[in-house]
Structure 1
Amino acid sequence: MDDAQLTRTICEILGGIPGWEWWPDPESPPYPKDSTAIWYGPIQDGPDRAIGVRVYGPISDTDLLVRRVQLRSRGRQRLIDDADRMAGIAFTVLHELSRVGGISDIRRISGGPLGADSKGREERSDNYQIILDNPEAIQ
């Protein structure tokens, strides 16, 4: 599984959370204002609640089965704990997820606040390690 497919897989998993939306087609209409938007890569301006997903890694040239993913969460304006709550929901869904969509295991390895953006929306970053079910990489 390449990084693009893994990113889309994580977006799909997060998009399955009630009230969270993953629209993979870039020509889709804007996300509803009251939704939590899942973005491939950087978070766009709206809606306020959003998560950007970015895969990075591999950790080494010899370990092609391990990747890392960063979730950047942004909460609603002036709600200091909203990004933390979103990260908690994502943690509940992703941490220790196993045997789903080509993923063998996911573990959160770090996370913390990033502060507010220029519109007063708190942000945070959480990083997960992913071990892939990828027989092609073993050969």
Structure 2
Amino acid sequence: MNDDDLTILICETLGHMPGWNWWETATPYPVDEVGIHYGDLPADGPDQAIGVSVYDAQDPLHLSWRNVQLRIRGKQRDKRSADKLGSFAFIAMQRLSRVGGISDTSRISFAPLGADGNAREERTENYIIILDNPEVTAS
């Protein structure tokens, strides 16, 4: 599984949460929903949003696992909103198994980032994704 496919799979998975939406097109998200985004969070997007990014610069040839970061942004002037969204993201992501080529997931860290320029609290969550890649186990 390549990084693009994995990012989209995670976006789709999060987009199945009630009130959360993933649209691959540039359609504006309704303000009362949590918008799931590939990569960075747009500054002019909905207050409640999650950006999904795959990363791991240590070994680009390692096919069996990837790191994924969720950048979570909460409602404007609501100190608890990003943490609440993080709890729901954890429910969707933790121990995700046998979904579209994912063997297992586990959160490895999370951290508050403080408020952005529009008074929306942000946090990050980092997960390790173990992939179910036939090319890893083939010999």
Residues 59, 66 of structure 1: 8 Å contact kept = no
Structure 2 residue matching 1:137: 3-state secondary structure: helix
Q: How far, CA to CA, are the matches of 2:69 and 2:100 in structure 1?
A: 18
Indicate yes or no: 2:20 matched with 1:10.
no
Aligned-pair CA distance for 1:59: 4.5
Q: How far, CA to CA, are the matches of 1:61 and 1:120 in structure 2?
A: 37
Indicate yes or no: 2:55 matched with 1:65.
no
Q: How far, CA to CA, are the matches of 1:57 and 1:138 in structure 2?
A: 20
Aligned-pair CA distance for 1:92: 0.8
Where in structure 2 are there 5+ consecutive unaligned residues?
A: none
Where in structure 1 are there 5+ consecutive unaligned residues?
A: none
Change (3 A) 1:6 1:58: farther
Residues 55, 67 of structure 1: 8 Å contact kept = yes
List aligned pairs for 1:11-90, cutoff 5 A.
11-26=11-26, 29-44=27-42, 45-57=44-56, 59-61=58-60, 63-90=62-89
TM-score by length of 1: 0.94
Structure 2 residue matching 1:97: 3-state secondary structure: coil
- Paired position in structure 2 for 1:121: 120
Deviations 1:23-67 (A, max 9, x none): 0123xx311011100000001122100000000126535532110
Runs of 4+ displaced beyond 3 Å: none
For the aligned residues, what is the CA RMSD? 1.3
Query: What is the count of residue pairs matched by the alignment?
Result: 137
Q: How far, CA to CA, are the matches of 2:75 and 2:16 in structure 1?
A: 20
Give me the identity figure in percent: 55
Structure 1 residue matching 2:73: 3-state secondary structure: strand
Q: How far, CA to CA, are the matches of 1:31 and 1:62 in structure 2?
A: 36
